[in-house]
Amino acid sequence: MAPAECGRCVTCQVCYAAQAGGGRTVSATVYPTERCNLSCGYCYYFGYKRQFARRDMDEGTALAVMDFLAERAEREKANAIHVGWFGAEPTLRMPFIEWFMETARKRHPQFKWSASITTNGVLLASERFAERFRIFTHVILSVDGVGEWQDMYRKFPSGRGSWQYVEKAIRNLQKLGVPFTARMTLAPENVAGAYESVKALVEMGVRDIFTGVVEEDVWDEESLWELRRQYQLIADYLIGRLLEGVPVRWGQFTQGADLVFSDAPRGEHEHCGQLGGSTGIYVDGSIYTCHRAVGIPQLRVGDVFNGIPPEVEERYSKMWSRSRALRESGLEGYPFAERSFLGCLVANYEARGDIHRANAPLLKAYEESCALAALKLFMAGRARQSRLIYDIYFKGVVD
């Protein structure tokens, strides 16, 4: 659905409908390939028990994807379809993506087709290749830090780091004027570099940053304390830049604003991606509950050739229970219970064997840090009468 129709949503960094903008939109995350040119240390895609054969989506499957999305759009009375290209590494199939979007517009011209992409940025180091990114409404660029912080995890199979390529990718996207989010993934080993990296990215001219966390059970008390410390250092730095008139968007400010200021409780069965805005369509045409669920048989709901059986869609749309998640995670009485994200369902399932069992210590450290950052931002904006801050992060939430 489109952002205006979400009602309970302030922003969602992975919401492809939000990136499409305007009108009612049907969206899905599509995997064009199983191949990747990096070998990142924490990658969930190649982790756990998933087995991939380095396949590519073929044209027959792609046509079925177009038809499936068009049929869904007609049923939901949408006027637009948005494809979020994901992977492994989708840029390895750039000619295929270009063909897909051109063919989809010709095959189903009654809809407005748009696309975004999540990429490691390696191929974008080439200016000529980067030129082709004008077809995307938004780019999510995986950047885990600058210099050694990036190279710690995001490496080539040979062990060589990828920062020198990503730095060029940032410059090329800026030169083209293509909107992009620098998305950092933090783990205990690199969390100490979060503030340093955010500061460096802002100084490079990056204006949209999101710092997510690895949700597996790898965080100890010391690393959680460091996460809290780094988030407040980032918040203080970014508030200073905002007050100077630099329009930096940090996803954690908006998440914190949602927790603190929104008075709309989430529905009992409401959760990210679950047969919603980020439904995952895999290289073989299989449909999963979300983009992260690909390759997990228990979360497969159908395929683009036969669709999703109504009884299956109904069952999976109700498989999540907020009250049960709070109980199973020991979070009853949690101050942000009504607005809490309560963890990625797939991460919960893979790490703890139950979609309802969130990593409670990490969840608290993360959400409480976001909330404190948002409160600081709100007070700074009010006290200094900064309309820039207020309009970017709070308009429509507290008005």
Q: Residues 247, 392: contact at Cβ < 8 Å?
A: yes
| Residue 170 one-letter amino acid | I
Amino acid letter for position 95: P
Q: How far apart are CA 251 and CA 207, in angstroms?
A: 11
Task: Tell me what pLDDT residue 272 has.
Answer: 81
> Rounded to 5 degrees, what are φ and ψ at 280?
-95, 130
pLDDT at position 4 is 35
Which of 38, 258, 59, 288 has the alpha carbon at shortest distance from 169? 38
Q: Is the pTM of this model over 0.85?
A: yes
Q: Name beta bridge partners: 141.
A: 119, 182
Per-residue tokens: 383: 């006290």
What is the predicted pLDDT for the residue at 12? 43
What is the block-wise mean pLDDT of the chain (399 residues), using blocks of 10 residues? Answer: 36 47 81 90 60 84 98 94 94 98 98 96 96 96 92 89 95 96 94 97 97 91 98 97 91 93 85 77 95 88 95 89 95 92 90 94 97 92 65 71
Is 289 within 8 Å of 28 (Cβ atoms)? Answer: no
In sequence order, the β-bridge partners of residue 250 are 209
CB 385 within 8 A of CB 248: no
Q: Where are the beta strands (DSSP E) in the chain?
A: 25-30, 80-85, 112-119, 138-142, 180-186, 208-213, 249-250, 280-281, 286-288, 300-303
The domain 1-119+272-319: what is its CATH number? 3.20.20.70
The partner residues of 212 in beta bridges, in order of sequence, read 185
Determine the pLDDT at residue 240.
93
The residue ranges of every structural domain in the chain are 1-119+272-319
Which pLDDT value is given to residue 216?
A: 84
pLDDT at 348: 93
How far apart (Å, rounded) are the C-alpha atoms in residues 119 and 114?
17
Do strands 286-288 and 280-281 pair parallel, antiparallel, or not at all (unpaired)?
A: antiparallel
Grouping H, G, I as helix, E, B as strand and the rest as coil, residue 173 is helix
Please classify residue 248 by burial: count the beta carbons closer than 10 Å to its beta carbon, then call 0-12 exposed, 13-18 middle and 19+ buried.
buried
Q: According to the model, what pLDDT value does residue 51 have?
A: 56
pLDDT at position 364: 97
